[in-house]
Amino acid sequence: MKYCVHCGAEVFDEAVVCVKCGRSIAPTQPPAVVTAKSDDTLVTIIKVFLILGCIAQGWCIIPLAWCLPITISIFHRFRDNQPVSTGLKVCSLLFVNMIAGICLLCMNESK
């Protein structure tokens, strides 16, 4: 025999509803966890503009010294599903591509 979790009445083990209070005594299952699917469109846009920024600055060798490492670091963070730091976002805004930097700063990273 088991007991109703609502009124405490004794009920049979096979019972689904309490005879005394009429409420369900079936074990409640926890609600399913809804995982948000990441939108890869913004990530793709950011990657395209980062590459365009590297190409646009490619005529001058010196900017590539900071442009390529920033771009590669962001690509690796996207690949590994790691958050991109605010400093790296600002550096991409200033040194690689303004549009990519703005998109990075506006991107919602709730991980």
Percent of the chain with pLDDT over 70: 86
Residue whose C-alpha is closest to residue 82's, from 93, 74, 91, 90 = 74
37 — pLDDT class (breaks 50, 70, 90): low
- 50 plus 83 within the same structural domain: yes
Averaged pLDDT for residues 7-27: 82
What range defines the domain where residue 12 resides? 1-27
Q: Quick one: 57 and 11 in the same domain?
A: no
Residue 49 and residue 102 in one domain: yes
The span from the CA of 49 to the CA of 71, in Å, is 10
Are 54 and 84 in the same domain?
Answer: yes
Kindly indicate the confidence band of residue 111, based on its pLDDT and cuts at 50, 70 and 90.
very low
Q: In terms of domains, do 44 and 71 share one? A: yes
The reply to whether 102 and 70 lie within a common domain is yes
Tell me, yes or no, whether 60 and 101 share the same domain.
Answer: yes
For residues 74 and 21, membership in a common domain is answered with: no
Residues 100 and 50 in one domain: yes
With CA atoms as reference, report the closest residue to 48 among 103, 107, 105: 103
For residue range 40-63, what is the model confidence (pLDDT) as tens digits? 888 899 899 998 888 888 777 777
- Verify that 102 and 71 share a domain, yes or no: yes
How many distinct structural domains can be found in the chain?
2
- Do 44 and 98 lie in a common domain? yes
